Every structure is written in structure tokens, then in C-alpha cells.
Amino acid sequence: MPDQAFPAYSYVPRRFPHPTRDPEGHSHGREAAPIDPVTEVGWRSSGAYLFGIDLFNHGYYWEAHEAWEGLWHACGRRGPVAVFLKALIKLAAAGVKAREGNENGVRRAAVRAGELFGQLASDRGGNGNGFLGMSLGGLAKESGRLAGAAANVLNTEEAAVIVALPLQLCVEPS
């Protein structure tokens, strides 16, 4: 989503101002725009979904979590798309935990993400390819790898943005 600007910093609790509650927060006072649910067939036109991927890949883990959580609520928090979004939310939480220096938090969030991706792939008869542009099997595998490497991804630097996770989300080309 090249037309959307990234926030001034990636929120890390107790390190930066809360984005919406603190007057110094990067999104303080902004009204949340209504969000249309993302669908299996219409994901390419979901700006919120795609921007969440951009945020994640550039180290804005809390902000990606928020983008995907809005979509999760918009789709009713039930069904395959909701399970997939919940798994992405858990991956983003792992990024926040890495920035906090919380090894157990990284591990727990990554394990749960992997379980959800794996569950969804299983529910779809083992077909883990092409769900909202990504491979469920690949995401489950990478989540497991992240859980195993939790101690190696911790990064408590005070920098405004750090890509802490050795994982980039890629969607299939148009």
C-alpha cells in the first residue's frame, strides 16, 4: 500500500507513547475509519489487510496487530478468515514481545499462530496454499521456526522502528 504513510514509530509498551491514548501518540485523536471485512476472494482489494502486511514487514508489529484486529472484528470473529486473521495477530504479538525482550511471550505467540495456521490448513483438507494470498503450511512452519528461535529475536533497542522478526509476509502476485 504505497499510498499509506507509516506511523512515526512502532509502539512498544512502556517505551513509547501509547498511539491512541497518549496525547503524544502517533494516532492520538484520529477517528478509526469503518472497515469492510476481508474475504477469501476479495483480499487483493482490502487496503486494511494489505497495509497490515506492510506494517508487519516494516517492523510496525503493534500497528499491524491493530489493523488485523479491526478486520477480525469486521468479519464477525468466526470462520476461516477470522482464524487466519487471529493467527496473523498472534504473529504481530510475537513481534511486540520481541521488541519488549520477552522471550516466553515471543514463543507463546508464535506457537499459537502456528497452531491456528495448521488448524486452518487441516480444516481445508490439507490444502494450505493460496489462502488470502499466503501459504498456510508455510506460515505454520515459519511460526514454529520463530517459536524455536525466540531467544535469538529479542531486540530492546530504543529505536523508533526495528524489524525484529526473521519473517516477512509475502502474498502471491496478482
Domain layout of the chain by residue ranges: 45-148
45-148 in CATH: which number?
Answer: 1.10.3450.10
Q: What is the dihedral of CA 96, 43, 1, 69, to 10 degrees?
A: -30
What pLDDT is recorded for position 154?
A: 92
pTM value is: 0.94
Pairwise CA distance, residues 111 & 116, whole Å: 9
Contact 89, 116 (CB under 8 A): no
- pLDDT of the chain along its 174 residues, tens only? 668 899 999 999 999 999 999 999 999 988 877 889 999 999 999 999 999 999 999 999 999 999 999 999 999 999 999 999 999 999 999 999 999 999 999 999 999 999 999 999 998 877 666 799 999 999 999 999 999 999 999 988 888 998 888 889 988 876
What pLDDT is recorded for position 116?
A: 97
What angle separates helix 80-100 from helix 103-123, to the nearest 10 degrees?
160
The residues near 105 (Cβ < 8 Å, ≥ 6 apart) are 93, 94, 96, 97
Q: Which region holds residue 90: left if phi is over 0, alpha if psi is between -120 and 50, else beta?
A: alpha
The three cell numbers of residue 22 are 497518549
What pLDDT is recorded for position 156?
A: 83
